[in-house]
Structure 1
Amino acid sequence: MPRKRIYRSKKKLGQIPGSIIYTGERSKEKLNLEAFDYTKENCTELDLKSITETFEFKDTISTTWINFNGLNYVKEIEQLGAHYGIHPLVLEDIVNIAQRPKIDEHDDYMFVVLKMLYYDEKQHIVSEQVSFILGQNYVLSFQESEGDVFDTVRDRIRQGKGRVRSMSADYLLYTLIDAIVDHYFSVIEILGDKIEDFETTIFAGEIDDDVSQKIQNLKREILRVRRAIFPLREVISRIEKDENKLIHKRTITYYRDIYDHLIQVSENIDIYREMIWSLMDMYMTTISNKMNEVMKVLTIMASIFIPLTFIAGIYGMNFEYIPELRYKYSYFILWGVMIVLFLGMLYYFRKKKWL
């Protein structure tokens, strides 16, 4: 069964707006802070030990990416938010992992929430909330736990590949969002393979007892992916169309490319969603056809034995005067008639292609 996340949303009922309460699973992992501080010529990669070590990167001339792993460390997030001037409502949204993908624009920063999707080692789909704060020369990212899809971005920053080190923080945000969106293609590709495998299985008639449950699980997976991806189109559209001082004109084209990818992913999701509905219809049709085959065989068998039963019933009556009752070869003649009837009906059914 797919892994279920436990949300503690009840803790937020009745709380003052801006109360920073983590709603995810309690993790025993240590706080993990990593930072990339770079210019076009140089790059420094740091594993930070405390939240105060992140404060020095706020007003540097270089571009900085600080990745915060461990949303259950609420006090540290409050400290970070106080130093970078992040509104308490934004901090509340960061630790509330049931957020819908969205974007909030403030005077000095932009807040973006989206879902990172991937399959775990048991082929269960995992949806993890990732939040971004885009400032003038920095990007803060917040994840529930270690493990993400940003390794390619890290390698590009370390090795100076592409444009990331020569562009500003808005391009860094683009590369991080693009890495997440690119991974959506991997997720829907696996979903597509699962659907095609089920189609092949059902067409071949190799139907297990749990096929309907597996189809329902696929349906839930596609709906989970859809909920994560469809609202993100609105987020990217706003970044593309709104004139925000943090997003430079030369970067808008790249965000437009993300939007095109999201449209493509959304179309595939709609196709797979229709295919899953078709799978259920196909499964029910196959079950019905199998039942019809069984009923046809039983009906043919009953039809064959009806005249034989009739003859046996006639000659099984206890009347004293029955024609052929005392005839020497009556028994053998009766068997001959019954066998001829049996073979004749089989021939007729085969000719009609009922057998």
Structure 2
Amino acid sequence: MAYFSKHYHNPGTEPGTLVAKSDLGRPVTIHLIDYTEDHLEEVRLANAADCREYLERESKTWIQVNGQADPETLRNLGDLFDLHDLALEDVLNTGQRPKLELYDDQLFIIAAMPFYNGDKLDIVQISLFIGKNYLICLCPLDEDPFEPVRKRMRLANNRRFVTRDIDYLLYALLDLVTDSGFPVLEQFGYQLEEMETDLLENPNQRTLARIHGLKRELLVLRRVLWPQRELLTGLMRTEDPLIHANTQVYFRDCHDHSVQIIELLESFREMATSMLDIYLSSISQRTNETMRVLTIIATIFIPLTFVAGVYGMNFQNPDSPWAMPELGWYFGYPMAWGVMIAIAAGLLWFFKRRGWM
């Protein structure tokens, strides 16, 4: 994941300007669900302009736009639903901070949905416009992540969607976005367990790289989940007429899930930091063990080197009273070895008794 993933216009560009990005990819797909207490209709639309006929009905409408939205699609939606230019600009320039914007008769919400794409953490921006009888959801993914909500709506015995206002649908989508953090944190938990095992058995440079990578991903995740909790707090306490009192209890539950995710996230960040400390301590301990062994070996060989150096001087003069008599002894060589072995054994016994080895 890149450190900076936000798309933006050139500095000085007029506010509300919609400029196409170079990496739009495949064309967008528009899935519309129109429902009342008596019927539910699902259609695939060729373009945003086809939504016009549904605006004249008394039903509730969910418009799901998947893929990288292009300026033309956003302009068509903006003209049909009178969406604010600045909000449309935020939709096009992804990487926005999760937030809640209140307009005259609309709510504009930006949420962040984390997920694992293989072994890589991705965070996508979910943009939502909420009006009296409609909800527009824009997701840059080609595959629709909100299919579980759609399946619940299709159930004949599920009356919550059809009997409640559009704010309940908003809750269902935000609940899915919020709860997507649990499987991501579960994956983080598995990685932490593996790294903990590596730290105890064989810490190396690969372990250090994994710890740094995990800390970085946790930091990026924290950067988007904290403002998302503020977003849910705002929905839970807002007095906007689009959010009804009987739905705020569901937003409180969603907020509670967000708090649990953040608490787990903070715990994992502390664990990753402690693992980095453990790694550094382990490496320091291994270095100390190596230095201790080398010091013991050097300490043992210092007196042995002294003895060998003394008897290597070869001052052998029979007429001098200061000559080395041991050089002429029959058992002089075995004696020198015996002295050196005794010194080494004595030092090993002394080190062991002091607990140095």
Deviations 1:279-318 (CA, angstroms, capped at 9, x unpaired): 1111100100010011011000001101111110111113
Query: Which amino acid counterpart does residue 337 of structure 1 have in structure 2?
Result: V
Q: For residues 260 and 60 of structure 1, what CA distance do their matches in structure 2 show?
A: 36
Tell me, yes or no, if the aligned pair for 1:240 and 1:252 is still in contact at 8 Å: yes
Is residue 235 of structure 2 the alignment partner of residue 233 of structure 1? no
What is the match of residue 114 of structure 1? 111
What is the match of residue 121 of structure 2? 125
Which structure has the bigger radius of gyration? Answer: 2
Give the drift of 1:162. 6.1
What is the match of residue 264 of structure 2? 268
What is the match of residue 325 of structure 2? 323
Percent identity reads 36
Q: For residues 199 and 22 of structure 1, what CA distance do their matches in structure 2 show?
A: 46
What is the match of residue 93 of structure 1? 90
Q: For residues 225 and 179 of structure 1, what CA distance do their matches in structure 2 show?
A: 17
Distance of aligned partners of 1:270 and 1:156 in 2 relative to their CA distance in 1, 3 Å threshold: same
What is the match of residue 178 of structure 1? 175
Distance of aligned partners of 1:120 and 1:4 in 2 relative to their CA distance in 1, 3 Å threshold: farther
What is the match of residue 61 of structure 1? 58
After TM superposition, what 4+ stretches of structure 1 lie above 6 angstroms from structure 2?
none
Give the drift of 1:32. 0.7
Q: For residues 343 and 29 of structure 1, what CA distance do their matches in structure 2 show?
A: 79
What is the match of residue 17 of structure 1? 15
Q: For residues 6 and 231 of structure 1, what CA distance do their matches in structure 2 show?
A: 17
Q: For residues 40 and 5 of structure 1, what CA distance do their matches in structure 2 show?
A: 45
Tell me, yes or no, if the aligned pair for 1:22 and 1:96 is still in contact at 8 Å: no
Q: For residues 116 and 101 of structure 1, what CA distance do their matches in structure 2 show?
A: 10
- Once structures 1 and 2 are overlaid, which stretch shifts more, 153-162 or 170-179? 153-162
Query: Which amino acid counterpart does residue 211 of structure 1 have in structure 2?
Result: T
Show the 5 A alignment for 1:246-265: 246-265=242-261
What is the match of residue 309 of structure 1? 305
Number of aligned pairs?
A: 350
Q: Which runs of 5+ in 1 are unaligned?
A: none
Distance of aligned partners of 1:7 and 1:181 in 2 relative to their CA distance in 1, 3 Å threshold: closer
* Corresponding residue to 2:49 among 35, 47, 52: 52
Q: For residues 24 and 355 of structure 2, what CA distance do their matches in structure 1 show?
A: 66
TM-score, with structure 1 as normaliser: 0.94
- Is the partner of 1:325 in helix, strand or coil? helix
Deviations 1:9-65 (CA, angstroms, capped at 9, x unpaired): 2x3311111112356x61321221111112233222211112111222224222211
Deviations 1:187-213 (CA, angstroms, capped at 9, x unpaired): 112112212221221022x12322222
Is residue 213 of structure 2 the alignment partner of residue 217 of structure 1? yes
Query: Which amino acid counterpart does residue 351 of structure 1 have in structure 2?
Result: R
Give the drift of 1:148. 4.5
Q: Which runs of 5+ in 2 are unaligned?
A: 317-322
Structural RMSD (CA)? 1.8
Distance of aligned partners of 1:47 and 1:125 in 2 relative to their CA distance in 1, 3 Å threshold: same
Q: For residues 165 and 298 of structure 1, what CA distance do their matches in structure 2 show?
A: 78
Tell me, yes or no, if the aligned pair for 2:113 and 2:125 is still in contact at 8 Å: yes
Tell me, yes or no, if the aligned pair for 2:27 and 2:68 is still in contact at 8 Å: no
TM-score, with structure 2 as normaliser: 0.93
Distance of aligned partners of 1:208 and 1:162 in 2 relative to their CA distance in 1, 3 Å threshold: farther
* Corresponding residue to 2:340 among 338, 341, 348: 338
